[in-house]
Amino acid sequence: MQFQPTKKSLRKHKVAQWFQNAKLGIFITWGPYAVPAYAPTDLGDISEIIYKYGYGTYLKHNPYAEWYVNTMKIEGSPTQTHHQEIYGETASYDQFAAEFNESIKNWDPESWARLFHQIHARYIVLTANHMDGFLLWPSKYPNPKKENYYASRDIVSELAEAVRAKGIKLGIYHLCVMDDTWNSSVIQTSGDAFAHVPQDPEFSAYIDDHYYEIIDQWKPDILWNDIGYPPYGKLYYILAHYYNTVENGVINDRWLIFSKRLLWLMKFRLARRVADWAQRRAFKKGSAGNPFPVLHDYRTLEYIVPDKIMKEKWECCRGIGRSFGYNQMETEKDCLSVPDLIRLFVDIVSKNGNLLLNIGPRADGAIPEIQLERLLGLGKWLDTNQEAIFDTQPWEIAGGLTSEGIAVRYTQKEDALYAILLAKPEQSQIIINHLNIGESTTVIMLGDEVPLEIKTEGTNLTISLPEIIEDTPAISLKITPKPK
């Protein structure tokens, strides 16, 4: 169908089946902030900080290295202290752009594409710009506030060509309401975040032009907008153009229009306090980002996983550690282990979600060893277990427990139910409760196609496992036909 630039028409769009089936995407957060590569790690991840301490404390102790341009300006913040100690009190952020452009000369996009293909990722989302305003492509609409403020290589085009050659879908991220080159005021509260949105119609036109350029030049499979859209922008026209241009394209849910009325309201202290409270409540309830999206194909939850199956398609976006951009301060204790990453991924898929797992490359494009180890570990597990993950749907329930207390997560495909054990059993037999199977049921363990011995007692299914099972964080059992 042809979509019109109206809310009513745009809301008729449905999330594409490829996205329903994709399950695993790779977020790539890369820019000049990879040069200082610093953020504090002392208070936890974003959801923990906002819920426990509030938005103001989160911004001062921001664990996101890609927010360096703002955090370095907050008086008394760990990032400001670090910046002054390493670069000097008068050093500006601008020097990092030149260093970044020098560092990317040896970047190899094909090596990234090979890695993403090896670990079975179905799509990527690249940050084409972030709040520092630096662009990863030589736009026809350059930044009028800062000359030559873009990457010396066309990173977006080079990576798009490399990943699509491997059959991987392309997503492009744009942060378009916070741009330090248009408004360099310091964001210290959620109210400041609203006030930071430029009120200049020229800024809205600048963002509109970028989105039209992105759509027409790369026809991305995903438009991944962050936070919201500026008040004078032509959002409905842009999304109608996108849907009419890119068949099976999808958008996320962070398109809140920062209307002039909303921005005026944020001038008042009470309104800002309400905004802070709403953010904490949103994180507590697992609805980070825009809690009431008007336009979207799927929901995005940041560092949060719901406790049950979500009817609406959703995506968990998070880093391997606490940051999206590369943070040299992160250690093993700040990062998911390979087993925890695999179990998190299975849990997300069982609840109708995709995992958009972030990598933060170094300035030269090298993927840090901690991150690379996790990616390869997940990919190795998927070599054996991908059948239980990709192209599946949630079952009647997300999961349960075996008789010995091992967590189970369920997925289904065609006539098969997959019961994924989130630990290696210590005993030779397991009992899964509440499975009403028939006499002709067979159970196999993925990676070992020999049918397993089973017996039933009521709705309890006893499964005799192979004598030797390699150490693994999760075991996938295929049950056919699936229980009625």
What is residue 434's predicted lDDT score, i.e. its pLDDT? 86
> For residue 93, what pLDDT band results from cuts at 50, 70 and 90?
very high
**Ramachandran angles phi, psi of 35, nearest 5°:** -75, -60
**Mean pLDDT, residues 432-455 taken together:** 91
State residue 91's pLDDT score.
95
Given a cut of 70, whether residue 259 has pLDDT beyond it is yes
Residue 364 DSSP one-character state: T
Say which residue the tokens 């009403």 belong to.
436
| Whole-prediction pTM | 0.96
pLDDT digit string, tens, across residues 78-92 = 999 999 999 999 999
CB atoms within 10 A of CB 153: 17
Q: Distance between CA 192 and CA 70 in Å, rounded?
A: 12
Angle 34-303-335 (CA atoms, 0-180°, nearest 5)? Answer: 55
The token pair that represents 455 in the structure block: 């017996």
Residue 289 has pLDDT above 90, yes or no: no
Tens digits of per-residue pLDDT, 364-398? 999 999 999 999 999 999 999 999 999 999 999 99
- pLDDT, tens digit, 9 for 90 and up, residues 191-230: 788 888 998 999 999 999 999 999 999 999 999 999 999 9
**What is d(CA 185, CA 399) in angstroms, rounded to the nearest whole number?**
47
Query: Which residues does residue 417 pair with via DSSP β-bridges, in sequence order?
Result: 412, 479
Q: Which residue has the tokens 């391997």?
A: 320
Please give the average per-residue pLDDT across 408-436, as a whole number: 94
Q: Are 43 and 111 in contact (CB under 8 A)?
A: no
The torsion region of residue 239 among left (phi > 0), alpha (psi -120 to 50) and beta comes to alpha
pLDDT of residue 44: 86
Indicate whether 340 pLDDT > 80: yes
pLDDT higher than threshold 80 for residue 146: yes
Question: Residue 291: its pLDDT value, please?
Answer: 63
Where are the chain's structural domains? 7-386, 393-480
Looking at residues 121-143, what average pLDDT do you find?
A: 97
164, with CB counted inside 10 A (0-12, 13-18, 19+), is middle
Alpha helices in 285-430 (DSSP H): 338-350, 369-385
On average, the pLDDT of the chain sits at 94
For residue 179, name the pLDDT band (cuts at 50, 70, 90). Answer: very high
Domain 393-480 in CATH 2.60.40.420: no
pLDDT at position 286 over 60? no
The torsion angles phi and psi of 200, rounded to 5 degrees, stand at -80, 125
Q: What number is the average pLDDT over the span 19-30?
A: 98
Pick from 63, 69, 29: nearest CA to 46: 63
pLDDT beyond 70 at 287 = no
Q: pLDDT band at residue 155, thresholds of 50, 70 and 90?
A: very high
Locate the DSSP E strands across 149-237. Answer: 169-175, 222-226, 228-229
Buried-state track 352-365, b at ≥16 Cβ within 10 A, e below 16:
bbbbbbbbbbbbeb
pLDDT value, residue 275: 75
Q: Is the pLDDT of residue 186 over 80?
A: yes
Least confident of 112-121, 183-192, 306-315, 336-345: 183-192
Query: Facing residues of 455 across strands?
Result: 462
pLDDT over threshold 80, residue 27? yes
Q: What is the pLDDT of residue 290?
A: 61
| pLDDT the model gives residue 284 | 63
Are 80 and 60 in contact by the 8 Å Cβ rule? The answer is no
7-386 belongs to which homologous superfamily?
A: Glycosidases (3.20.20.80)
Q: Which residues contact 181 (CB under 8 A, 6 or more apart)?
A: 132, 133, 143, 145, 146, 149
pLDDT at 25: 98
- Share of residues in the chain with pLDDT > 90 (%): 80
